[in-house]
Structure 1
Amino acid sequence: MRIKVPATTANLGPGFDSCGLALSLYLELDVTPADTWFIEHQLGDGIPTDASNLIIETALALAPHIQPQHLVMRCDIPSTRGLGSSAAAIVAGIELANQLGELKLSAEEKMRIATNIEGHPDNVAPAVFGGLVIAVQLGEETRYTRHNFPNCDIVAFIPQTELATTLSRSVLPEELPYGTAVKASAISNVMLSSLLSGDLKQMGEMMAQDLFHEHYRKSLVPQLELLRERVKTFDAYGCCLSGAGPTVLILSQPEQTAALMADLKNFDSTANLIHLNVDTVGIQVN
């Protein structure tokens, strides 16, 4: 059995903790029976290979009596870069339990379980469903809508430096003044309505006006403001932090993408630049 889960980007600027998009980077898991739990990977010594691995832990929490398996993981989702690597692992673990334990979970049930583990749905929902998902957690209930994403190129600018989500969240305020919260919400609403109507230019403008998190995180990701100005030369629609950062996503006009990526390579030759597509499928099992 092979389980395949896409990377995700969360927020899209002002859609903080609610908007997520599945992207064409993947965690793949080959599963075969074994005497003990073991997971092969190429992610280094910091990632467990035994039953304490997040994928196996998640599976056993849902289905404690499933038989041990030998797992081989291939993952091109970089960790601590804001591209949903932990969400992909959680979703893979849920699907592993679903298949081996014959739980017969619906996609909605998988999403709700993953949201309860992750704490919010922005990364896990698109990992389950694919595409653009807008979701909110209300107590034990998760409400969501799934949409197509407008036609544009997506370029991920991935710095070499890691940025832990805990650090990136630590710079956020516990509260916003009422007036600021109203304005931030209005910006988010216009961003989303622009996205859904296909007005990418206005969507990008609203991304740059976010008041929920990018304003506070830009000191941790100084490239964001520099890139935001630089990509204007190539008439890019806009850019935003991917999740908690430090990856910056750029929405590009297809005819400008090659020149844009060449320029970004000159801007920072150490960064990893990837031309991505939207994953429209979500979890796959073969």
Structure 2
Amino acid sequence: MPTLLPGPVTVTVPATSANLGPGYDALGLALSLRDTVTAEVVDGPGSVVVRGEGAGAVPLDDSHLVRRAMQRAFDAMGCGTPSIRLTCDNVIPHGRGLGSSSAAIVAGVCAARGLVGGGSLLMDDDAVFALTAEIEGHPDNVAPAFFGGFTVAWGSGGRFHATNASVDPRVAAVAFVPPDPVETTVARGLLPAQVPHADAAFNVGRAALLVAALGGRPELLLEATEDRLHQDQRAPAMPGTAALVKELRADGLPAFVSGAGPTVLVLTDPLAQAGVAARVPDGWRVHTLAVESQGAVVTEG
């Protein structure tokens, strides 16, 4: 059995936005909010402490998502079930479409690997990504959470894969976060089983355009973030979000639903962020964000 190290291991993981309008379950962007998880092996019972987002709402036992992800990684490396002292300092909003669950999963798998002697040999980066995507069930958020930057993810041969694409330095983001969450399962449940061929073709074109727009043609972002596959279909679950997206886009701002919502993300020039942020609705939170080039960062000791 591999050797367990006492730790501690600290992992920081960025928030993410998936879909980016047309790139449903494929495109993702890492953003400059980071959750921090610290884990160490202990004698006796383990413990979970949560501070910040999710405190008082998430479980504080082995059913906590970070702890469950750690156990999946320990199982994959043949390490049994060690007792873990886990501390989570969260800033990514929960249930708002900014990748909090993906951040937790990536943090857990990375922390477990860091607590195992030779963990990087037992589980290389491709294996970490594959396991995190398997736990999450789709790769669009875990890819930027783990690798950072702008990612394109896909499935092939029964496994998920991802690659990075470039982002122009003139691209930053503003996130409008409403007070009430929407469960991803609810948002996904509103999507039809089939879509018209014309709508599928429209989104393929816009997703390809979005890769070009983010990479060096940010003036095309308004058209590149158009979508026909999921945002209108989900609008009944988040009417305030749908109304804000419509309002911002009518004024020429490339706004879209972040992930499954209900956060609204706007891609904009860093010099224009303050003006965009001033449009935050009453009762909502606003974050001015950079594109985060680094994904998960692990510090041992």
TM-score, normalised by the number of residues in structure 1: 0.91
- Picking from 280, 285, 288, the partner of 1:275 is 288
How many angstroms does 1:26 deviate by?
A: 1.4
- Picking from 180, 184, 195, the partner of 2:214 is 195
Which consecutive unaligned segments of at least 5 residues does structure 2 have? 1-8
SS in 2 for 1:89: helix
Counterpart in 2 of 1:121?
A: 139
Aligned counterparts, 1:133-172, within 5 A: 133-150=151-168, 151-172=170-191
Q: 1:180 to 1:261 in 2, by over 3 A?
A: closer
The one-letter code sitting in structure 2 at the alignment partner of 1:227 is L
Q: 1:203 to 1:278 in 2, by over 3 A?
A: same
SS in 2 for 1:6: strand
* 1:241 and 2:257 are equivalent in the alignment: yes
Which consecutive unaligned segments of at least 5 residues does structure 1 have? none
Counterpart in 2 of 1:61?
A: 72
SS in 1 for 2:87: strand
SS in 1 for 2:295: coil
* 1:256 and 2:272 are equivalent in the alignment: yes
Find the aligned partners of 1:86 and 1:271 in 2 and give their Cα distance.
Answer: 21
Counterpart in 1 of 2:111?
A: 96
How many angstroms does 1:28 deviate by?
A: 0.6
The one-letter code sitting in structure 1 at the alignment partner of 2:288 is H
* 1:108 and 2:121 are equivalent in the alignment: no
Counterpart in 1 of 2:91?
A: 76
How many angstroms does 1:9 deviate by?
A: 0.6
How many angstroms does 1:190 deviate by?
A: 2.3
- Picking from 238, 241, 262, the partner of 1:221 is 238
The one-letter code sitting in structure 2 at the alignment partner of 1:98 is R
Find the aligned partners of 1:175 and 1:38 in 2 and give their Cα distance.
Answer: 45
SS in 2 for 1:41: strand
Find the aligned partners of 2:132 and 2:273 in 1 and give their Cα distance.
Answer: 34
Find the aligned partners of 1:157 and 1:213 in 2 and give their Cα distance.
Answer: 19
TM-score, normalised by the number of residues in structure 2: 0.86
Counterpart in 1 of 2:3?
A: none
Contact preservation (8 Å) 1:135, 1:145: yes
Q: 1:14 to 1:232 in 2, by over 3 A?
A: closer
Contact preservation (8 Å) 2:222, 2:249: no
How many angstroms does 1:232 deviate by?
A: 5.7
* 1:22 and 2:22 are equivalent in the alignment: no
Q: Provide Cα deviations, 1:197-247, integer angstroms capped at 9, x if missing partner.
A: x22232221313x112112122333334543454468753x1111100000
* 1:4 and 2:12 are equivalent in the alignment: yes
Find the aligned partners of 2:298 and 2:237 in 1 and give their Cα distance.
Answer: 38
How many angstroms does 1:30 deviate by?
A: 1.7
Contact preservation (8 Å) 1:66, 1:97: no
Find the aligned partners of 2:241 and 2:182 in 1 and give their Cα distance.
Answer: 14
- Picking from 8, 33, 37, the partner of 2:46 is 37
Residues 239-248 or 55-64, more deviating: 55-64
Q: 1:174 to 1:235 in 2, by over 3 A?
A: closer
How many angstroms does 1:47 deviate by?
A: 1.2
